[in-house]
Homo-oligomer: A and B are copies of this chain.
C-alpha cells in the first residue's frame, strides 16, 4: 500500500526565503557562499534551512549555475585498480560541496561516447575519465563542453588535463627485475592496440613499448615475445595458453595488468605448472588481488589513490579557472617484489 500521505511537495528556496523573512536571492547567496550576505543574514538563512530541512534541487541549479556533481567514468568494475583510484577521488572530494557520480563506459567506443554525453546532458560540473578509449578528437569535444581530466592516457592535450603513471618506466622495472634474476625468455601479454594514436597514448601500448625497449637494452631483443589479447582475465588466460604452447616456453611472463596475471594463473593451474617453480610471473597495478597472500604477485605499484586524488585536485582547479593552461601530471611507478618471481636457477 504505497498510497501514503500525498507526494509531499518539496521545500524550495522560496519557502526558505519566506520562513527567514528575506529574499530568494539572499538565500541563494548563502547557499553558494557568495558575496553580498552579512554574517547575520547567513545565520538567519542557515537556521531556516535547517528548520525546514531544505535541500537545493540540482536540476534547477543545473539550469543556471553548477550542480556540484563530478562525473567519473571507468571501463570496468572488476579491475580492482580502479577502486583505488575512486578512493582517491572520494578522499579529495571529502569536505567539498561536490558529489561524485559514476558510470561504466564499457570498452566500446560508441557506448563510451554515449556515457560521456549522458554526463554532459546531466550538467555535471566536471568529468574524470578513467582510461577512456575514445579518439583524441572525441576527448577534445567532451573537454570543450565541460572541464575534464583524463586519467591514464599519455600525450599532450590542448583541452584537458591528464594524470598518468609513467608506464614506460614501469614496464622497464619489471624487465630489469626479471633479467636480474637471470631470465631471458621473458614474454609479455598486452592489450591489443592497432589505432596509431592510441599506440602513442594508451597505457597498455606504452607498457608494451617499455617492455620492448628494456629487452633490447638488456640484450634480450631476440627473446621479445608478445601475445596480444586484452586486459582482462580472459585475455590473460588466452595469452598464457598460447605462450605455454611455445617450445621452448618462456621462463617468465610479464602480464600487462594484475587482472591479466589472474587469467595467467588460471591457465598455469590448469596446465599443472607452479609459480615461480616452473615459471615466474609479474603483473602491473598492485591491486588488492596482488597482495593476496596465497598468490603474492610481483607487480608494479601505480598508487591509484594518489592518481585519483591528483586528478580530482586538477579538476576542481580547472572548474575554478577554466582558462589556465592544461597540465600533464606524470607519476612514478614502483616495483613491488613478491613471491611469483624467482631466480632462473630455481626454475627448472
Q: Interface on A for B, CB 8 Å cutoff?
A: 1-5, 8, 55-63, 67, 69, 77-78, 80, 82-83, 86, 90, 99-104, 115, 117-118, 120-123, 143-145, 158-159, 233, 262, 265-270, 288-289, 292-295, 322-326
Q: How far is the CA of A289 from the CA of B292 in the complex (A)?
A: 11
Query: Residue A3 contacts which of B5, B8, B323 (CB distance < 8 angstroms)?
Result: B323
> Given A77-B77, A158-B2, A294-B269, does the pair A58, B59 have CB atoms closer than 8 Å?
yes
Contact B58 A122, beta carbon cutoff 8 Å: yes
When A and B form their complex, which 5 residue pairs have the shortest distance between CB atoms, in order from nearest? A59-B62, A269-B293, A102-B102, A266-B293, A77-B83
Complex interface: chain B residues within 8 A of A293 (CB): 265-267, 269-270
B residues less than 8 Å from A100 (CB atoms): 103
Give how many copies assemble into the complex.
2
Closest to A101 in B: B101
Q: How far is the CA of A231 from the CA of B4 in the complex (A)?
A: 35
Q: Chain B residues near A325 (CB, 8 Å)?
A: 1-2
- Chain B residues, Cβ within 8 Å of A62: 57-60, 62
Contact B294 A57 (CB under 8 A): no
- Chain B contacts for A82, CB-based, 8 A: 77
Task: Give bound CA distance, A82 to B78, whole Å.
Answer: 9
Q: In the assembly, what is the distance between CA of A267 and CA of B294, in Å?
A: 9
| Most chain B beta-carbon neighbours within 10 Å: one of A115, A121, A144 | A121
* A2→B159 contact, CB < 8 A: yes
Q: Considering only CB atoms, which chain B residue lies closest to A63 in the complex?
A: B59
- What residues of B have a CB within 8 angstroms of the CB of A55 in the complex? 117, 120-121
Bound Cα distance from A334 to B8, whole angstroms: 43
CA distance A57 to B60 in the complex (A): 11
Cβ contacts under 8 Å, A59 to chain B: 58-63, 67, 122-123
**Nearest chain B CB to A232 CB, angstrom units:** 11
Option from B80, B101, B292 in Cβ contact (under 8 Å) with A103: B101
Cβ of A3: which chain B residues have Cβ within 8 Å of it? 323
Q: Which residue of B lies closest to A270 (CB)?
A: B293
A-B contact pairs, 10 of them (CB 8 A): A1-B158, A2-B322, A2-B324, A57-B123, A58-B121, A58-B123, A59-B60, A77-B86, A78-B288, A268-B294
Q: Which residues of B contact A288 (CB under 8 A)?
A: 78, 233
The distance from the CB of A289 to the nearest CB of chain B, in whole angstroms, is: 8
B contact residues around A58 at 8 Å (CB): 59, 62, 121-123
CA distance in complex: A267, B1 (Å): 49
In the complex, which residues of chain B have a beta carbon less than 8 angstroms from the beta carbon of A120? 55
Distance, CA A326 to CA B227, complexed state (A): 52
B-chain residues with CB within 8 Å of residue A90 when the two chains form the complex: 104
Hey, which chain B residues are within 8 Å of A123, CB to CB? 57-59
- Alpha-carbon distance A282/B120, docked complex (angstroms): 45
Once bound together, how far apart are the Cα atoms of A146 and B1, in whole Å?
A: 15
